[in-house]
Amino acid sequence: MTAIARSGALGLLGAAVNGVCGFVLTAVIVRVLGAPGAGAMFAVIGLVSILGPLCCLGADTALMWALPRRAAGPAGDAARLLPLAVAPTLALATVVAAAGWVAAPTVDAALLGSGDATLVRLAFAGVPVFAVATVLLAALRATRPVAAYVGVQLVAVPVARPLLIGAAVAAGGSVTAAFAGWLLPMAAAGVAAVLLVAGPLGLGRGARLRPTAADRRRFWGFALPRAVSTVIDAGGMWFGVLLTAALAGPAEAGVFGAVCRYALAGLLVMQGLRVAIAPQLSRLLGAGRTPEAAAVHRRVTTVVVLLSWPAYLLLAVFAPAFLALFGAPFAAGAAPMAVLAVAMLVNVGVGTVQTVLLMNGNSRGHLLAAATGLVVYLIGCLVLVPRHGALGAAVAWSLGIVTENVIAAVLVRRVLGEPLAGRAVAGTALAALAGTGAAAAVGAAAGGRGPGGLALTLGLLAIGALALLRSARVRAALRAALVLLRPGRTAPDQPGATQPGRAGPDQPGVAGRPPAASTFHPPDRPHTPEVVP
């Protein structure tokens, strides 16, 4: 694998570790706490996962968008965005934590009905930790090579969580102690992010930290519309968990949370590639190079469909086998899992449309898509959850997912002015459906929908994959799809492509020399780099 694809490969590896550890975390929670305890745990995690991103005010995504366009180092102007992002986040999160501490008995009565507000109070106390760490990790992602972000956020945090939770419960701790084990790694990640961004931004070496009025106006002009959509993105499953806990009880919420873990794990490929391509899309779109950005999107979509659609088809067909990991009380999640798996085929099939919108500076368009999907989701929960529990929540979330992705795809089509999917994407989708569908049909017919049928299907798919990799044409297609995954690179046949060893004018200051234009351009004006002597 050449250096061009290493960034994407690292993102995929980190996402894979994160996904596996997510399974382990969910298994630990449901096994040691049971369905009611897991429901309570998922509910407070959901509380933090919704309030934390809200308190970020969109500053995390704004840093991802802005820092690659700034000059780094002591003489650069990138460092002054950090306090601009962190200070308001910390202030709002502290206010929310204080208000939540006071209102904890009422919140506990509405969500958990335990009569003890200690767990809810700890959750609110964790909001500032979660919010500030999220902003700092975004700065890390934008300023360091992708390996640093992957190592901290996608490996260290998810590996530590099940270990700490298991140790806390094994020592006789309650759900409250288990939640502390979930929160602590995020605090450590925030500290690590500060240490890692100090060098590239020139912190402690004379870098200017006082933002200008223009910085504030342009930064928050992008960030604030993103604030609401960030909550919607981060709270996807958690809105359903909270409403299911309130309307159908903690046990149904525990089942829904376990099902969602599988549904979200199937997105690990797309999440890993987003880590690699977001800064690259920001540079290409900022420079007005939309054909190249469209090519990145299409090739990434091809890879995502190839690797993710088979996984979701297997989740839909063999849901009982996957849920057996969590024990008998979670067998009722088979139907909700199948519903969510079908919705995720749509989510994956449109590719990284949300990332394209945000890296183009269109946070308002992203908010429109996300808010519309959320409204559909919440209405569906209120109507369906009281009668159908976890299944109703799964149907409601599926409707919201499809709504959001259709709107986002329409908006991105207008941005790029080119088709979002070509023949490669369509051919890959059909091949994934046909190949996985045939193998699943044979496996289910011979071994049922339990572990035996799943094992047989996986064996058939492995044989088929090895046979395909013997084809030079297939191997060449995979290499071509990966060539765009290194930030700052474009396909060799694209106009303006940077050649190995040479920095293009739109390369970020954090990667070496400062960019040609160090001013921070607002999202409604394209960034056209000047030529540097």
Position 106 scores a pLDDT of 92
pLDDT of res. 20: 80
Instruction: Measure the CA–CA gap between 284 and 296, rounded to whole angstroms.
Output: 10
pLDDT tens digits, 354-377: 888 878 877 788 888 888 998 999
Q: CB of 530 within 8 A of CB of 517?
A: yes
Give the model's confidence band at 501: pLDDT under 50 very low, under 70 low, under 90 confident, else very high: very low
184 falls in which pLDDT band (50, 70, 90)? Answer: very high
Please report, as a single letter, which amino acid is at residue 462.
A
Q: Which of 263, 254, 406 is nearest to 342 (CA)?
A: 263
Cα angle, residue 476 at apex, residues 473 and 477 outer, rounded to 5°: 85
pLDDT band (50, 70, 90) for residue 477: low
Angle in degrees, CA 118, 122, 127, rounded to 5: 150
pTM, 2 dp: 0.66
Residues in the chain: 533
9: pLDDT confidence band, cut at 50, 70 and 90? Answer: low
Q: Give the pLDDT score at 489.
A: 43
Q: How far apart are CA 400 and CA 378, in angstroms?
A: 8
Taking only the tens place, the pLDDT of each residue in 393-438 is 999 999 999 999 999 999 988 888 888 887 888 888 898 899 999 9
**Beta carbons within 10 angstroms of residue 120's beta carbon:** 28
pLDDT in tens, 435-444: 999 999 999 9
- Among all chains, which residue has been given the structure tokens 């376990």? 258
Contact call for residues 146 and 3 (beta carbons, < 8 A): no
Under DSSP, the state recorded for 150 is I
- pLDDT at res. 530: 29
Res 165: pLDDT = 92
Name the DSSP letter for residue 153. Answer: I
Q: What residue segments make up the domains of the chain, in order of their start?
A: 1-211, 228-484
Average confidence (pLDDT) over 205-220: 84
Does 135 or 240 have the greater pLDDT score? 135
What CA–CA distances, in Å, run from 30 to 25, 239, 362? Answer: 9, 19, 40
Cα 257 to Cα 43: distance, rounded to the nearest angstrom: 9
pLDDT higher at 152 or 509: 152
pLDDT at 6: 56
Least confident of 304-318, 343-357, 453-467, 474-488: 474-488
Of the candidates 428, 154, 417, the one whose C-alpha atom is nearest the C-alpha of residue 301 is 428
Cβ atoms within 10 Å, residue 250: 26
Most confident of the following: 30-39, 177-186, 325-334, 458-467 = 177-186
Residue 386 CA to residue 393 CA, distance in Å, equals: 9
Do residues 370 and 404 make contact, with C-beta atoms less than 8 angstroms apart?
yes
Cα 48 from Cα 115, distance rounded (Å): 20
As a whole number, the mean pLDDT across the chain is 80
Nearest to residue 318, comparing CAs of 442, 203, 405? Answer: 442
